[in-house]
Amino acid sequence: MSQNEIWTEKYRPTKFEDVVGQQEIIKRVKSLVQSLNIPHLMFAGPAGTGKSTLALIVVKELFGSAWRENYLELNASDERGIDVVRQKVKDFARTKALENIPFKVIFLDEADALTKEAQQALRRTMENYTNTCRFILSCNYSSSIIDPIQSRCVVFRFKLLEKKDVGEVIKKIAEREKLVMAEGTIQSIYEASEGDCRRAINLIQASAAITSQIDSEMINMMASTTKPAGIRIVLDYAIAGDFVNARDRLLDVMLKESVAGPDIIKAIQKEIWNLPVEPEIKVRLTEKTGEAEFRMTEGSDEFVQLQALLASFVLAGQGKST
């Protein structure tokens, strides 16, 4: 287990009440657990929002200290073939639980990585062993799960955590680890993590390994993200029609701060709506930003695409069509 995983495990919630940001889901899942009337479950949503944590809490609430003997966790992105379903899953599902609970629990993390053939096999296993086993599936995109499996599950859709939720976790960690957070640090952590609590914890851990005095500068360095202020200067030059200075400042940001093109694109997209231009122009610039990001993803040169994007900003500042 890596140091990041150790920290994440250390601060993983152990009770329903400890989970932040998903109150409605927690309420419904808790009532199912208390009634022992648990169907197959599917937790869908972005990374770092509490899906795996909630699955573990459900199992611990059901089985108490004997949860390990009645729980099988598989990461479907590592073991994604049909043999996993036919062997590991089937062998575990066909045996009865060791406690008073009439079923065991199998947790399939990243289930959207399962091949279609494996999903078809899983569909039959879920149907045949309902009396002795319950499945909890976790995925980022429920659309990647075949319809027959979705219809056998109660689907809970997780949302990205809000700033107050991430802030609550950060403050708890800072207090227990005796860390000093400078003003604005929580905001920087939230922006860098984008609502992913696991990433937020990793950023704090990486910063705490260097110093107990954590500030926004440290978080930005650990996250390897560009400062919005630096991007704003680039865009201000472009909107003012100074393409050369905009390009030079962009090059500084990319080379001196080692920021990748896709990260620059994200920062630009966030800053567009703060520019002093008409809403219609902001919409067109957002579209251009999306085109540049797509071309980068397809393998185009990052700096060429970003220069082309800056040219669009220059034209927009001059009132010309982009």
Q: What is the CATH number of the domain that holds 169?
A: 1.10.8.60
Q: What is the mean pLDDT of residues 213-234?
A: 78
Element (H, E) at 146: none
CA–CA gap between residue 227 and residue 140 (Å, rounded): 28
Radius of gyration (C-alpha) of the chain in whole angstroms: 24
Q: In DSSP terms, which residues pair with 154 in a beta bridge?
A: 41
Segments forming the whole domain that contains residue 122:
22-157
Last residue of a domain, one of 157, 181, 208: 157
Query: Above 80 in pLDDT, residue 224?
Result: no
* pLDDT tens sequence across 265-303: 888 888 888 888 888 888 888 898 999 889 988 888 888
The residue ranking higher by pLDDT, 309 or 75, is 309
For residues 52 and 110, membership in a common domain is answered with yes
For residues 250 and 148, membership in a common domain is answered with no
Residue 16 inside a domain? The answer is: no
pTM value? 0.74
Residue 4 inside a domain? The answer is: no
- In what order do the strands lie in the sheet containing 40-44? 71-75, 104-109, 133-139, 40-44, 153-157
Query: Can you give the pLDDT at residue 156?
Result: 92
Q: What is the mean pLDDT of residues 230-235?
A: 86
Residue 14 inside a domain? The answer is: no
Residue 118 inside a domain? The answer is: yes
Residue 43 inside a domain? The answer is: yes
Q: What is the mean pLDDT of residues 33-37?
A: 85
**Please, what is the end-to-end C-alpha distance for the chain in angstroms?**
50
Residue type, 2: S
For residues 175 and 295, membership in a common domain is answered with no
Concatenated DSSP letters of 62-100: HHGGGGGGGEEEEETTTS-SHHHIIIIIHHHHTSPPSSS
Tally of domains within the chain: 3
Q: What is the CATH number of the domain that holds 240?
A: 1.20.272.10
* pLDDT tens sequence across 154-187: 999 998 888 888 888 888 888 888 888 888 888 8
Element (H, E) at 44: strand 40-44
Query: Above 90 in pLDDT, residue 70?
Result: no
The mean pLDDT of the chain is 83
Report the interhelical angle of 243-256 vs 228-239 (nearest 10°): 160
16: CB partners within 8 A, 6+ apart: 26, 29, 30, 57, 61
Q: What is the mean pLDDT of residues 191-214?
A: 86
For residues 234 and 282, membership in a common domain is answered with yes
Q: What is the CATH number of the domain that holds 91?
A: 3.40.50.300
For residues 102 and 140, membership in a common domain is answered with yes
Residue 10 inside a domain? The answer is: no
Query: Can you give the pLDDT at residue 4?
Result: 59
Query: Can you give the pLDDT at residue 322?
Result: 56
For residues 205 and 172, membership in a common domain is answered with yes
Query: Can you give the pLDDT at residue 43?
Result: 92
Lowest mean pLDDT, pick from 6-20, 48-62, 106-120, 190-204 = 6-20
For residues 151 and 57, membership in a common domain is answered with yes
Query: Can you give the pLDDT at residue 16?
Result: 84
Residue 12 inside a domain? The answer is: no
For residues 151 and 27, membership in a common domain is answered with yes
CA–CA gap between residue 111 and residue 45 (Å, rounded): 12
For residues 57 and 145, membership in a common domain is answered with yes
For residues 196 and 137, membership in a common domain is answered with no
For residues 138 and 104, membership in a common domain is answered with yes
Last residue of a domain, one of 177, 200, 223: 223
CA–CA gap between residue 126 and residue 111 (Å, rounded): 14
For residues 257 and 188, membership in a common domain is answered with no
Residue 3 inside a domain? The answer is: no
Residue 3 banded pLDDT, cuts 50, 70, 90: low
Query: Above 60 in pLDDT, residue 50?
Result: yes
Last residue of a domain, one of 157, 178, 193: 157
